[in-house]
Amino acid sequence: MSAIGEGSLLSASEENNRLAHTEPSRTSLTDHQKFMAEHSGKDILSSDVEIKGSIKFQKELLIDGKVEGEIHSEGVLTIGENADIRGEIKTKSIIVFGKVQGNITVSERCELKSKCTLQGDLKAARLVIEEGATFVGKSEVTSGMSVTAAKPGSSRPEIVRHDEPAKPAFARSA
């Protein structure tokens, strides 16, 4: 296993280009291309990566390693089945296959897959929990505000009432 902080983080296209120029074997390149097709456009932190600190990303990230710290993004986060995350997550959308210890706040959709474990509170506009998922904490359905626009004081959805003339409940028609 790599020591904490060692290794490199390459985007999917950079990784593909690097392997295309350094590996002459057609078999491994074909296998790699199949893998990349499944995860096209996603940046990947593989299972041998360990990070202590904050992670910020823009579009899509798949984490299959260990992370201790905060994860912030306006993108889509996938927590792989080998992942072990300890810290707060704030993102647009998340799919959890692995383990998360910490609170999750998403502005759109959260999916907890059948073999995942979440120990922490969850705030999301939409929540999908598959049978077999372990969730220990409380959940709150929110109005779909952006992650960065969420203010600490605005934990409750805004109630909007339209003024209508008051009508008596049991009024008789004349």
**What is the edge-to-edge ordering of all strands in the sheet holding 76-79?**
43-45, 60-63, 76-79, 93-96, 109-112, 126-129
**Token code pair at residue 165:** 């003339």
Mean pLDDT of 7-35: 45
pLDDT, one tens digit per residue, over 141-162 is 887 655 544 444 444 444 445 4
The percent of residues above 70 in pLDDT, for the chain, comes to 59
d(CA 27, CA 25): 6
pLDDT, one tens digit per residue, over 31-72 is 544 554 555 567 889 889 999 999 999 999 999 999 999 999
Domain boundaries, the chain: 8-41, 43-141
127: which DSSP letter?
E
d(CA 132, CA 112): 9
Single-letter residue type at 8: S
H/E stretch holding 136: strand 134-136
- pTM for this structure? 0.62
Q: Give how far the C-alpha of residue 60 lies from the chain's centroid of Cα atoms, to the nearest Å.
A: 9
Mean pLDDT of 66-93: 96
3-state class (DSSP) for residue 12:
helix
So what's the pLDDT on residue 104?
97
